[in-house]
Amino acid sequence: MADPRKASAMRAYMKSSLPYHGVPTPLLEKTCKPLFGDLDLQNADVWRDQVLELWRGAKYREEQYAAILLSGDRRAAAFQTLEMMPMYEEIIVNGAWWDYVDVVASRRVGPILARYPAPMKKMMRTWSKCDDLWKRRTSILCQLGFKKETDLDLLYACIEPSIDSPEFFLRKAIGWALRQYAWTDPGEVKRYVRRNEARLSGLTKREALKNIS
């Protein structure tokens, strides 16, 4: 499926240390589906080992994308437990770029948070204050799909340690999380931005209020 003509442009866009095959995401997903169908994901250990073997052994970036796709295989729904958080933490910390982290934050960590709220809230609060910017970003973005189920206290607690940060990826994440919640409660987002106007970056405020008339 490789397309060398696309590969160099994709690598440059993502500033990737790994080369690309040049396979766009829709084609990658279509290609992986029958390959994964042949795997015998008989238990959580086998599934985790397959994901990590793909991730750690990747020679091309799409192979790591494939690992993340496998981590979301429907047959692994029952395996998405607290015990898998070290695997996702490895992908977040070692991947250290938005194309890896945002999918894992919203589609892997988020569902585990919903399933195990008490221990995961504690973990996300800890991540929000750690030195790793990508774990911080994860803590901010993990509730992206929660809508009315969003825990505002948790969201604001995870934003707070990074609210004054000059780091683009944290400013963007804060704005994105607020913009997403604005679909549910635009008034609350406007109030939050107003209360914190002096501390929020211009980028964050624009992102947060983008869909509010």
Calculate the average pLDDT of the chain: 97
Q: Where are the domains of the chain?
A: 119-213
For residue 27, how many C-alpha atoms fall within 13 Å in the half-sphere facing its CB? 9
pLDDT category at 180 given cuts 50, 70, 90 is very high
CA atoms of 92 and 53, how far apart (whole Å) = 16
Position 86 scores a pLDDT of 98
Position 178 scores a pLDDT of 98
Position 19 scores a pLDDT of 97
Tokens of 62: 């799409």
pLDDT category at 10 given cuts 50, 70, 90 is very high
Backbone angles phi, psi at 133, to 5 degrees: -65, -30
Position 213 scores a pLDDT of 75
Position 76 scores a pLDDT of 96
Position 136 scores a pLDDT of 98
For 90-135, write each residue's pLDDT tens digit. 999 999 999 999 999 999 999 999 999 999 999 999 999 999 999 9
CB 139 within 8 A of CB 109: no
Task: Give this prediction's pTM.
Answer: 0.96
Q: Residue 38, exposed/middle/buried by CB under 10 A (0-12, 13-18, 19+)?
A: exposed
For 44-79, write each residue's pLDDT tens digit. 999 999 999 999 999 999 999 999 999 999 999 999
- At residue 206's C-alpha, the angle toward residues 195 and 154, to 5°, is 50
**Topology of domain 119-213, CATH:** Leucine-rich Repeat Variant (1.25.10)
Position 183 scores a pLDDT of 96
CA atoms of 150 and 148, how far apart (whole Å) = 5
